[in-house]
Amino acid sequence: MTTVSIPDYENLPAPQGYQSFVREIGPLACDRYALTMTYAAWKLGFADEKMTTSNVFCRSLVNNGDTYKDSSTDEVRSVKIPYLVNAGLGLVAEWYDGWQWKDRELRYLAQQRIDDGTGKKIRLFPNEFLHWLSKQRLSLDIKAIPEGQLIFPQEPSMQLTGLWWQQMAVEATTLGLISSSTNLTTVATQVKLAAQREAHKAGAGLVEASAKEFASLAEMSLRRSPSVGALQSARAAAIAGWDNTSNDYAGMCYGIPVMGTFAHAWVMLHETEEGAFENWAKAYPNATVFLADTYNTVEGVKTAVRICKKHGLDLKGIRLDSGNLAYFSREARAVLDEAGYPNAKILATDSISVRNAASLFGRVSTEVTDRESFVTGFGIGSEVAVNRNNPLLDFVMKLAAHHADRSTGNDALVRELIKLSETEKKTTLPGLIDVVRYVDRNGRWAGDTIIPADLDIGEGRLSRDLYSEHTQTGKIKPFPQGAPFVRLLQPWMAKGEMVQTPYADRDAHAVLATSRATCAEAISKLDKDHLHLPPDMPHDYGVGISEELAQKRKVAVGHIRARQDLERQRNRFDLVS
């Protein structure tokens, strides 16, 4: 008889470095023009020379699903969540870590053809270029606003300095990871806010009475997410402070606690619901959470009670996945309490949105006799799979500065760059910039100002008065000398190597834990007026540009307009050679 040796799987050697597939995507995840521009620069001899700075930033906020009528124009406008949560940096780090041209990508590029103008197909990329490409590694210097920190339109969440072609090569995937993650994390924080309420107690003092009470939140988007593995959704929910995920792959990659009981398929596999619950209790006597609504919700709850009573088990909870969740939570609570299970949880998992979470938990009466809903936790998929109110977030990467050529050995600024547009919001900010955030006497965020990076304002407290021009209204707001502030952009990568500890250690679990703590602190420092949920209108957060940066932009725009006019005048006098 053959003896099978079963490994001790728990004690297998621990894997090192990043575990998700993101690292394996490789540098070919770029738009074709990034490669054609890189080839052109290589062919013309300046691919290894041209040094620039690019800024990654978002142009707009996220809709919260509500609308209002503008009293001055009668236009119906979307209500915006007044902040964004910077997210996706951890995924970008994973992708950069594996950014190296492999034979499979080079072979693919060697097979690409282009029409030579006569109908003949010729190689798009010659072997000499591909060999040069095979030797390239990222060598960028990058500053970034920490993952989990709040950001606002026009503020650079990342600032990349180094070889121009490398910035073009990483642009598309960097933007995709940052945009989708920021969008979903921002929504996830709104759900987190909706799933909390003031825990009032009869006769309690003011401090105790105002303590927060939270519903549990489980991320369950894997079957709804358009992204493979739903990693953006799982990370977004974890950064926003949710409790766990149903996604075991995300659990392995990021250390997120994983939860799960059974599906309707388990019940339907059995002849009766009673038999399904009986077998579940035998298999998992310490995980007695039952899905109650396969056939009849109230009867399902009663069945769960009977099975637990029969086996002397503690009924941990029931899950509701359909119907009027407020009504069925009341009915379930009554059955559970009468049976002697007052601590059994009630989890709702049917298309939960910010509004649903608020109505089922955050806004219900806390007096037990009057309360509309007894839901104690939510399992949410669709809301963090895709932001249905605002599926796309307008992140871009734009050149801001041109430096001395690499061979000169210095990074002197040669020219500040600005992109003009007939659409005002698409006109960029010129040169090297930084973001400062003010902190009021109560420790709350008091506004942001985007400034030239070389503007001398001191450290920690303003060394001079600073005048901030609002990015939307143009109104000037002064911040006095001595006002406390923090600089948001921090060194993240130097010459292609990560400089912050969890990133340098390639520890995705620690990266996520740090981002989660950053997000919790950042949200706590927002004034409550910015945190109103629909249908209430949240207040805007003030972001401006310093008068010095506003002047730079004005001069840069003027110079470009003048150069364009000069060309027109040359044409007029037939002076174009």
DSSP string, 333-355: HHHHHHTT-TT-EEEE-SS--HH
Is the separation of the CB atoms in 331 and 297 below 8 Å?
yes
Query: Do 411 and 61 contact (CB within 8 A), yes or no?
Result: no
pLDDT in tens, the chain (577 residues): 678 899 999 999 988 999 999 999 999 999 999 999 999 999 999 999 999 999 999 999 988 777 777 777 778 878 889 999 999 999 999 999 999 999 999 999 999 999 988 999 999 999 999 999 999 999 999 999 999 999 999 999 999 999 999 999 999 999 999 999 999 999 999 999 999 886 544 443 333 434 578 899 999 999 999 999 999 999 999 999 999 999 999 999 999 999 998 999 999 999 999 999 999 999 999 999 999 999 999 999 999 999 999 999 999 999 999 999 999 999 999 999 999 999 999 999 988 888 888 888 876 644 444 567 899 999 999 999 999 888 889 999 999 999 999 999 888 888 999 988 776 667 899 999 999 999 999 999 999 999 999 999 999 999 999 999 998 888 999 999 999 999 999 999 999 999 999 999 999 999 999 999 999 999 999 999 999 887 788 999 999 999 999 999 988 888 888 888 888 888 888 887 6
Cα 241 to Cα 195: distance, rounded to the nearest angstrom: 11
* Residue 195, helix vs strand vs coil: coil
What's the pTM value of the predicted model, to 2 decimals?
Answer: 0.93
Distance CA 216, CA 345 (A): 10
CB 436 within 8 A of CB 509: no
Are 426 and 419 in contact, with CB atoms under 8 Å apart?
Answer: yes
Cis status of the peptide bond prior to 452, with omega within 30 of 0: no
Q: What is the pLDDT of residue 421?
A: 75
**In this predicted structure, what is the pLDDT of residue 511?**
98
Residue 404 · residue 163 · CB < 8 Å: no
Query: β-strand 466-470 against 84-85: which pairing, if any?
Result: unpaired
Q: Where are the domains of the chain?
A: 21-100+137-187+389-560, 188-385
Helix 164-194 to helix 32-43 angle, to the nearest 10 degrees? 150
User: What is the Cα–Cα distance from 77 to 92, expressed in whole angstroms?
Assistant: 34
Closest residue by Cα to residue 181 from 266, 314, 51, 89: 89
What pLDDT does 206 receive?
37
Question: Regarding the domain delimited by 188-385, which CATH topology (the fold level of the hierarchy) does it fall under?
Answer: TIM Barrel (3.20.20)
**DSSP-derived 3-state class of residue 151:** strand
Kind plus residue range of the DSSP H or E element containing 168: helix 164-194
Q: Which segments within 33-103 are labelled E, that is strand?
A: 51-58, 62-69, 76-81, 84-85
Work out the number of other CB atoms within 10 angstroms of the CB of residue 352. Answer: 25
CATH class of the structural domain 21-100+137-187+389-560: alpha beta
The whole-angstrom separation of Cα 357 and Cα 528 is 19
